[in-house]
Amino acid sequence: MNVRELLQSKKETVITIDTHDTIGAAAHKMSANRIAALVVLNDDAPVGIISEKDIVRALADDGPQAGRRVISSLPSMGLEGIAPEASLKQAMSLMTYSRRRHLMVTEGGRLVGILSLGDIVKNLLGELELEKAVLQDIYMAAH
């Protein structure tokens, strides 16, 4: 399975925020939508991801006034993306080495979706359940 196929199975809309919005606005948007990350846009072009981890770091550095800072001021703001044709193994490697739990999926500079570590784990668990069921059926047929 590749990234595009996994995104098609999710069928969720991507929640975004602008680089000029505040960290506090991002926290409220994440809480309201019960999500852990937002894709950050600048003039409707994806430029990065802000996650709960980024917000916690900002609070640790600046205290409560961190909520008034603009998102573009975060030091970790950067493009963490992957192509839809990439394999899930490539996505897992990129997440591991960049120490991120979320990746933007972009195609030709256009946002296609967002992929989380949880999405990948859920997919792998589904594959293992299917494999288990097939092996059980084979065993039962043989005995």
Instruction: Give the list of residues 6+ apart from residue 106 with CB closer than 8 angstroms, or none.
Output: 46, 81, 82, 83, 112
Alpha helix locations (H) across 1-143?
3-10, 23-33, 52-62, 88-98, 117-142
Residue type at position 37:
A
Q: What is the pLDDT of residue 79?
A: 64
Convert the pLDDT of each residue in 63-104 to its tens digit.
989 999 999 888 765 566 899 999 999 999 999 988 888 999
HSE-up of 115 (CA within 13 Å, CB side)? 32
Q: What is the pLDDT of residue 135?
A: 86
Residue 12 has pLDDT above 80, yes or no: no
User: What's the rounded mean pLDDT across residues 111-135?
Assistant: 88
Asked if residues 15 and 29 have their Cβ atoms less than 8 Å apart, the reply is yes
